[in-house]
A and B are shown apart, each in its own frame.
Chain A
Amino acid sequence: EAQVTQNPRYLITVTGKKLTVTCSQNMNHEYMSWYRQDPGLGLRQIYYSMNVEVTDKGDVPEGYKVSRKEKRNFPLILESPSPNQTSLYFCASSLSILNTEAFFGQGTRLTVV
């Protein structure tokens, strides 16, 4: 089954403790991205990647890192999480940049205390 898989689905952590949210897709998609969803602010893009070893900042990249060492995986790294990074995170992938359908993961609900 074609899918985008995020882990974990739920995470509660403490300020400053490094964490990684994994994202994997099995569709051989070139393009992957991360979004966060916050009440009143909607979904905003954090980072995106057009292919292996190619990443770029979205609208809200501060406090996040990503890597794209292989096509299927696009982890989101929070080196020193803070409470303002409490949010619902989504990973997405699509075959290419333009004119193709995007698929979203199940979401990761992160709470930083």
Chain B
Amino acid sequence: GIQVEQSPPDLILQEGANSTLRCNFSDSVNNLQWFHQNPWGQLINLFYIPSGTKQNGRLSATTVATERYSLLYISSSQTTDSGVYFCAVERTGNQFYFGTGTSLTVIP
């Protein structure tokens, strides 16, 4: 399977700060998605981004497929942004491979 590494593993931010989360993957992929797992365990779709850049409000993401990495930017963080952020990639068409996640805590 594909190796997916996320960094940093843990991140503590003051409310209002910006951050960048990184996802590196070991092989070419057909699909890449970013998810936010909230404190209740739900996986929320953030971005479907196999390549290029997308923005949604305070969040944006960039995937450089040729260099096998993706970045998730969070600007003006809020306490509701807390949780675990996962990057997941798909290559063979039958499953996603998830990274180990970045645990984000935003303090007021």
Contacts and interface: CB of A to CB of B under 8 A. Distances in A.
Interface residues of A, number: 24
Contact of A98 (B42, B93, B96, B98): B93
Given A99-B31, A109-B41, A42 B96 contact: no
B95 A33 contact: yes
Contacts of A84: none
A90 B93 CA distance: 18
Interface string A33-59: 101000000110100101000001011
Nearest to A41: B100
A99 B30 CA distance: 6
B35 A104 contact: yes
A99 B50 contact: yes
A107 interface: yes
Q: Looking at chain B, what size class is its interface with the partner chain?
A: 20 to 34
Interface of A: 33, 35, 42-43, 45, 48, 50, 56, 58-59, 88, 90, 92, 97-104, 106-107, 109
A92 B43 CA distance: 10
Given A102-B33, A107-B43, 4 more contacts: A56-B94, A58-B95, A90-B43, A103-B45
A98 B101 contact: no
Given A106-B42, A109-B41, A42 B31 contact: no
Contacts of A92: 96
Interface in B52-108: 86, 88, 90, 93-96, 98-101
